[in-house]
Structure 1
Amino acid sequence: METEYEDNRPVWARNFNHGCLLPQRAVITLMGFFGLICAYTNRVSISFAITKLVVPINRTDQNSGVCAPEEVSDDGLGINNGSTYKWSEQLQGLVLGSFYIGYLISHLPGGIFSDKFGAKWILGISILMSGMCTAFTPLAVFFGAEWGLIAIRILMGVAQGPIFPSLTTLLAYWVPAKERGSLGTFCYSGVTAGIVVCNICSGQMLHYFRWTVTLITFGFIAGVWFIFFILLGTSTPYDHPCISPMEIAFLAKQIPKKSVNLPIPWRQILLSKALFAAIISQIGHDCSYFAMISYLPKYMADVLQFSIRTTGIVSTFPFIAMWASSLISGLMADWLIRTGKMSINSERKLFTFIGALFPGMFMVAASYAECNKGLVVLFITLALFTMGPYYAGQKLTPMDMSPSYSGTLMAIINGFGALAGLISPPIIGAMTPNATMYEWRWVFWLGLVILVLSAVFFCLWGTTEMQPYDPNFSMQNV
């Protein structure tokens, strides 16, 4: 379907017929990728910092359900003497989960504003504010202890809530349907890449410097990203000063023009069975994934008894595997769809189910490996490797279901998924009061059940078909 477009670029830009060296949809995707790296280093770094803030549990019983500690000492600059706060596992769960209180609040407004006014500034300001909250976290702790930390984490959640909705809106304007598997998955893989960067850098920085350095560094980098993004990005291809006429004509043909003035069809959206299926799938995935993000460093430090530096290195392997898997899955998804071997609907469902069943199975297997540390790390790595296909599955469906309201749909779906992030850390804290491997085994079994049930629900009732409430639905079926 060909779509006419209005060239709103400045005169000098319209005369610049060759564009830039790279296709601008690739540049936008790359900036989104780096933006998510910034967002997730901000979000996850507290999981490492808290191991330096909190006095570890004093274990005197040799049968306490944890492994023998690593003999390598974290002497560094004596930073391991800086643990000051005697916070219970339940309180630490509240601290780690408080982020999602604010995250829930700003999700839907972020999606609505992105769909109506454009995603550029909403995405940019969200990541900038997230970086500022991260950089100011040490002050919040010094002046307010646990309550100061909870407050700044809630504010960071408010800042990050619009990120996924606005990024989805941005990709819906820039990435054609047949490239969503590769470009969309690459962009969203910034989540996993951010965790990899955080794990590697946090472990090293916490070994050699005070915990405050880690947070200030990640906050500053988010500010640098903001400057580059504002200079290089636009909400739509039609406003970009450096896009080639060939690329803008291509995008105009491939992506339906969106009207920003139409009212949002709330009733049709909220009564959609496909939306409900996507929400259930998101909640199931996020229950497991957010638990891994928040608790993997603590599990390796408290249960497997790795040193903080080793924890930073070893906990990176699973997320590197997941990042590689998500990229491979994206390329494979595009190939399956492009060659006609599988429909978009079938591909999304298959990859979603793979990304749920196998991760749950491998996490349960890890709990039965007990103190065989090498085997535990292998199973956890396999768990996250097999979770990679999720990003070429259900995660792309808001753009498939309604390009015109993709930001709003992502806000609803991801917002409900954030409930998992809000409730899972306190629940895990309550289930693991002594942080033993036997308590964690029940956590992993529960995760397997939730993952599989949510994926089955999506496979039965989810869809990638454009929904009737999208303004382009009637034109698509002409």
Structure 2
Amino acid sequence: MAVPNDQNGDLNWSFQDTEKLLIPRRYTIAVLCFFGLANAYIMRFCISIALNEMVSYVPSNETVAFEDPNMCSYDNDTATIVIAENLEGEFDWSEQAQGVILSAFFWGYILTQVPGGLLAERVGGKHTLALGILISTICTLLTPLAAREGGVLGLIEVRIIMGLGQGFVYPSLNVLLAHWAPQQERGRLGSIVFAGSNFGTVVAMAVSGVLLSWFPDGAWHYLFYFYGGSGVIWLTLWWRMGYSSPINHPYISDKERTYLKKYYDESKLQETPLTPWGSIMQSKPLWGLIVCQIGHDWGLFTIITDLPKYMSNVLHFTIAQNGLLLSLPHLFMWSVAWSSGWLVDLMMEKKIFTVTKTRKIFTTLATIGPALGILCATYSGCNRFLVMSLLTIGMGSMGFFYPSLKVNSLDLSPNYAGTLMALVNGIGAISGVCTPYVTGLLISDNSLTQWRMVFWISVLVLIFTNLFYLLTGSAEEQPWNDPKFSLQLEDFPSSMERNNHNRIEIH
């Protein structure tokens, strides 16, 4: 039975009603974070589909394009439709210019990762996450104006600012998980939250393609207004229902509060610990995470930002077909992420492998699958069905990444979860800067040979970065997670008192 709202506007349920609903607050927070991340990815990547409508594309030599063995040719009707659609674009931007537009987001995204992590650790994940989504929402609503009034430079500026805002998102989510997700539930709660990226990408691709096919010619701007509106709706819900930690949640049940307090004590969680930068930057397991994140992001961003062009300009799918088919790998990835999250927690509960081995096994699965899928797709030529099947299965297996590498930083240090995620995600985002630019340089006439080179680069990066992680990665909690350890190092920087067993004495 509901009672009147509290002063913050949150609907106040009695503890008894909470128990009857059988929905722990930590899962409510996880679902809200899922939709927050989904909104962030929708606003981040919908431009990959929209550019196909915004920009005119005219083949440099139409006759050669349909006779060259390195170019895909289908029935004349399909080819005519694609060319006609692309000729109606509002802007005449080169492939290189489009590559810069797609990568501009990551220029800002890299810069605010560490500040976002530090801010989230000190003021709480709720407010930092809200700030990131707010900036993204404003930039999404301003995108049409920036493109039409400022051209390429105007759009680049808006994308950079959006990246600056979204740099807060992942560190904030990691801080929220550090407070709400005990280790024995970290796989499933982490998969729920981070699978929002897959759901958001599905919407950005599939729904965007359908909407653009429904809109009148030249009405692509409605797409950004639609997604900007969804960001406003999420912000309203988050402000009323989101909380940074169980400590300041007024409506959590006694049973859940006690359960999470035990986790707090075991993890030595504190609200505003000092950051042991020296120990963090010298951490071998952390650098293993960073390198592996670079490889994962390289493969993922190649598919998200560049595959729409491949499907439109090489396989000659229409805009509606393009969006729907692009959603398939992410739908599969989403289902794999959810199911593997529960599987990881079950394996850890039964102690089948150590936490470290479990994380490495699933991270490797998230690498081998995409590498094989991409590699086989590059040699499938113009067989549309085979190419999309291989990419769907291969990229879908990236879902194993979420209950493994994505939550690994929480294993290393719950206290500094925001900072670690900022470093891992921020440095990993270098891939987002590089992949669209590299593709723009390699692709001049959209031949199969040129695209094969793009995909081969992704495969090699995936494999070598995963090998580095296998050699250096760990899921053991690091000594510097304990704030007392950090304070000891600060108090005695030049000489440390040690006992007879060569251990640091903590007074």
TM-score normalised by L of structure 1: 0.93
Residue matched to 2:293: 282
Query: Where do residues 60-99 of structure 1 align in structure 2 (5 Å cutoff)?
Result: 60-61=63-64, 62-63=67-68, 65-68=70-73, 71=77, 82-99=88-105
Partner SS, residue 386 of structure 1:
helix
Partner SS, residue 446 of structure 2:
coil
Q: Which moved more, 1:161-170 or 1:325-334?
A: 325-334
Q: Which moved more, 1:97-106 or 1:465-474?
A: 465-474
Kindly indicate whether the alpha-carbon contact (under 8 Å) linking 2:268 and 2:482 is maintained by their aligned counterparts in 1.
no
Residue matched to 1:3: none
Q: Which moved more, 1:425-434 or 1:94-103?
A: 425-434
RMSD: 2.2
Query: 2:323 is matched with which residue: 312, 317, 320?
Result: 312
- Indicate the structure (1 or 2) with the bigger Cα radius of gyration: 2
CA deviation string 1:386-411 (max 9, x = no partner): 21101111111111100000000000
Give ranges in structure 2 of 5+ residues lacking alignment: 1-6, 486-505
CA distance in 2 between partners of 1:189 and 1:350 (Å) = 19
Kindly indicate whether the alpha-carbon contact (under 8 Å) linking 1:140 and 1:149 is maintained by their aligned counterparts in 2.
yes
CA deviation string 1:271-293 (max 9, x = no partner): 11111111100001111111111
CA distance in 1 between partners of 2:197 and 2:63 (Å) = 38
CA distance in 1 between partners of 2:73 and 2:11 (Å) = 64
Query: 1:214 is matched with which residue: 215, 223, 247?
Result: 223
Query: Where do residues 232-251 of structure 1 align in structure 2 (5 Å cutoff)?
Result: 232-251=241-260
Q: How much does 1:473 deviate?
A: 8.7
For the structure 1 residues 69 and 152, does the alpha-carbon distance in structure 2 shift closer, same or farther, using more than 3 Å as the test? farther
Query: Where do residues 318-337 of structure 1 align in structure 2 (5 Å cutoff)?
Result: 318-337=329-348
CA deviation string 1:139-197 (max 9, x = no partner): 00010111111111001100100100000000110011011111111110000111111
Residue matched to 1:4: none
Partner SS, residue 474 of structure 2:
coil
Residue matched to 2:55: 54
Greater relative contact order, per chain length (Cα 8 Å cut-off, separation 6+): 1
Answering whether residue 476 of structure 2 is matched by residue 465 of structure 1, we say: yes
CA deviation string 1:427-463 (max 9, x = no partner): 1111112222211111111111110111111111111
For the structure 1 residues 13 and 30, does the alpha-carbon distance in structure 2 shift closer, same or farther, using more than 3 Å as the test? closer
Query: Where do residues 343-422 of structure 1 align in structure 2 (5 Å cutoff)?
Result: 343-422=354-433
For the structure 1 residues 75 and 430, does the alpha-carbon distance in structure 2 shift closer, same or farther, using more than 3 Å as the test? closer
Partner SS, residue 213 of structure 2:
helix
TM-score normalised by L of structure 2: 0.88
**Percent identity of paired positions between Structure 1 and Structure 2:** 35
CA distance in 2 between partners of 1:323 and 1:337 (Å) = 21
Partner SS, residue 385 of structure 1:
helix
CA distance in 2 between partners of 1:13 and 1:132 (Å) = 28
Q: Which moved more, 1:59-68 or 1:126-135?
A: 59-68
Q: How much does 1:19 deviate?
A: 5.6
CA distance in 1 between partners of 2:13 and 2:177 (Å) = 26
* Equivalent residues, number: 465
Answering whether residue 235 of structure 2 is matched by residue 229 of structure 1, we say: no
Kindly indicate whether the alpha-carbon contact (under 8 Å) linking 2:292 and 2:465 is maintained by their aligned counterparts in 1.
yes
Amino acid corresponding to residue 52 of structure 1 in structure 2: E
Partner SS, residue 243 of structure 2:
coil
CA distance in 2 between partners of 1:226 and 1:75 (Å) = 40
Give ranges in structure 1 of 5+ residues lacking alignment: 1-8
